[in-house]
Each structure stands twice: as structure tokens, then as C-alpha cells.
């Protein structure tokens, strides 16, 4: 059990041992609940066959998430994100009416993650299958996120419109405390005000 816990991100051996001893000690109910939830998840959930979001496995063995199954979503827009948490964040904003594609990783030459490790063939299949016209790149504003966005633009920019989410000062934020890169981006991304 300790070994299994240490496979989770951010969990070291000490924490894993603490979890294990608590579960085996006076947290018996939590142990049963965890065991049940894990078995259910393993049996019924896996990444969506189309987008990589978490999906329920259907009777035919396929997995289609709620967003991909929703016929009211705009098929012509595909929002590319790094991870499922980012998909959930964009979805909470209510600003995306199209579908998503989860990359699962970002380009990171220093860590040995090159373009061949990105699921580009799968992304291309989604673009073709759904008649996508706009690829909305919502990777994070980091070195890796920007490198990935550029690579996707080079790869798909000739066939579809590739857009990048804006970056700038967060809502309720203070200009005084913004870092120079963020403030610079906010300045260069300025828009006309409709009065």
C-alpha cells in the first residue's frame, strides 16, 4: 500500500506511510470507502477516446465523455489544453462552446519531451473527423506552454485558424504587483474599448 501511494504525484515515502498507517488504524471506514471508490473508478472510468477528458466506459467498451457526447457543442471549435484540470477550468468559465483536446503533456526539450511525444496524430484525427475550423490553444503561459502553442500553430496553422488565449492581469489583480512579462503581454494584447 505504501508503494502504491508513492506512485502518486507529490507523495513521498513518509506521507505514504502516514496514509497507510492511518487507514489501517482508526480510519477503517475511510479505507473501505477508498477501496470501493478505486475499484469503481478502475472498472468504469478511463480517458475519453476522442478528447482525453475523464469518461465512463460504455457497454460496448468505448469511452465518450459528456462534452463529446453533447450534440449541442460547436464542433468547429477545438480547445487544446495541457491537462484535464485545465479543461475543467476552461469549462467552468463558460467561455468555450466547442470541444476540447487534452494533450497530456507539453513540449519540454530540457526534460526530453520532444514533438514526437505529443499526441499530434490523435489531434489531427479529431480536426478531420469534426471539421474543426478553429484550434484554440489554451496551454499555460509558461516556456513549455508557449513552445507547445508555437509547435501546434506550425503543424496545423495552414489548415485551420489557430488562436491563442490572451494572457494578462488577473481579475481583481493589482498592476503594481504584476511581473514584467505578464504586464508586457497585457500591454501588447490591448484592445479597443467600445464606448
List interacting residues with Zn ion (CB under 5 A): 48, 50-51, 53, 65, 68
Give min distance, CB of 49 to Zn ion, in A. 7
Output 16 or 68, the one with its CB closest to Zn ion: 68
Output 16 or 87, the one with its CB closest to Zn ion: 87
Alpha carbon distance 78, 81 (integer Å): 10
Give min distance, CB of 147 to Zn ion, in A. 25
**Which ranges of 65-193 does DSSP label H, i.e. alpha helix?**
66-69, 84-93, 120-130, 143-156, 180-188
Output 46 or 105, the one with its CB closest to Zn ion: 46
Output 69 or 143, the one with its CB closest to Zn ion: 69
Alpha carbon distance 125, 104 (integer Å): 16
Cβ atoms 51, 102 nearer than 8 A: yes
Give min distance, CB of 69 to Zn ion, in A. 8
Give min distance, CB of 121 to Zn ion, in A. 17
Q: What are phi and psi of 13, to 5 degrees?
A: -65, -35
Give min distance, CB of 52 to Zn ion, in A. 7
Output 52 or 145, the one with its CB closest to Zn ion: 52
**Which ranges of the chain does DSSP label H, i.e. alpha helix?**
2-6, 13-24, 28-44, 66-69, 84-93, 120-130, 143-156, 180-188
Amino acid at each position: 500500500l505504501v508503494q502504491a501511494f508513492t506512485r502518486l504525484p507529490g507523495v513521498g515515502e513518509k506521507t505514504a506511510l502516514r496514509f497507510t498507517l492511518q487507514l489501517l488504524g482508526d480510519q477503517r471506514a475511510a479505507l473501505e470507502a477508498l477501496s470501493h471508490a478505486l475499484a469503481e473508478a478502475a472498472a468504469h472510468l478511463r480517458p475519453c477516446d476522442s478528447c482525453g477528458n475523464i469518461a465512463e466506459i460504455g457497454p460496448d467498451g468505448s469511452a465518450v465523455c459528456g462534452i463529446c457526447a453533447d450534440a449541442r457543442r460547436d464542433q468547429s471549435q477545438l480547445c487544446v489544453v495541457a491537462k484535464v484540470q485545465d479543461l475543467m477550468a476552461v469549462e467552468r468559465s463558460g467561455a468555450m462552446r466547442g470541444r476540447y483536446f487534452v494533450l497530456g503533456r507539453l513540449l519540454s526539450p530540457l526534460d526530453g519531451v520532444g514533438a514526437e511525444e505529443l499526441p499530434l496524430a490523435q489531434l489531427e484525427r479529431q480536426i478531420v473527423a469534426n471539421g474543426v475550423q478553429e484550434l484554440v490553444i489554451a496551454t499555460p503561459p509558461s516556456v513549455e506552454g508557449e513552445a507547445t502553442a508555437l509547435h501546434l500553430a506550425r503543424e496545423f496553422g495552414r489548415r485551420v485558424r489557430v488562436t491563442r488565449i490572451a494572457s494578462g492581469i488577473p481579475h481583481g489583480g493589482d498592476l503594481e504587483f504584476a511581473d514584467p512579462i505578464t504586464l508586457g503581454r497585457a500591454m501588447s494584447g490591448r484592445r479597443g474599448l467600445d464606448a
